[in-house]
Amino acid sequence: MLALLVSTAVLVGTGCSTVGDIDRVGLSGDELQIGDCLNAPPAGDVGYVYLSRCDEPHDAEVFAVVALEPINQPFPGDVALQARASSACLELLAGYATPSPDLGFTFLLPTDSSWDIGIRTAPCLAIDLRGRVLESTIALGED
């Protein structure tokens, strides 16, 4: 299971490829790919996200997937993973979309138990800081 952490950075980000038929529904965070658009799960469905078409309203867009290190070490702890993901997502966000004061990011982190089974990535998700849905992709050069 991955834990969701919110960063208050106010940069923009994400992009998504237009998805035809969504066949990857109810994904865990380690299955997300750059360009995926997604919606929060229904209440009580912890540990999964639901893909959405990028040209329809959605809660977030994956703009990066950060490799977490050290790869072959025991779980480094939440604080270390948060620092790594936050720093990397912040750096990658600026190159992916036009900056906006209304957009920020969050990320998904592996838990101690998911680290033990080999999950070593943190998907970076662009979100609207006002709590509104994103109406379309916000990737640079895409409308």
15 closest CA partner among 67, 66, 60: 60
For the stretch 41-57, pLDDT in tens is 777 666 677 888 999 99
Higher pLDDT, 96 or 10: 96
Task: Give mean pLDDT, residues 82-110.
Answer: 91
Query: What is the greatest pairwise CA distance in the chain?
Result: 42
pLDDT (tens digit per residue) in 16-36: 333 334 444 556 677 889 999
User: How is residue 53 written in tokens?
Assistant: 């078409």
Q: Which residue, among 115, 135, 125, 142, has the nearest Cα to 57 in the 3D structure? A: 135
pTM above 0.75, yes or no: yes
Which pair of structure tokens corresponds to residue 70? 């050290």
Residue bearing tokens 């993973």 = 81
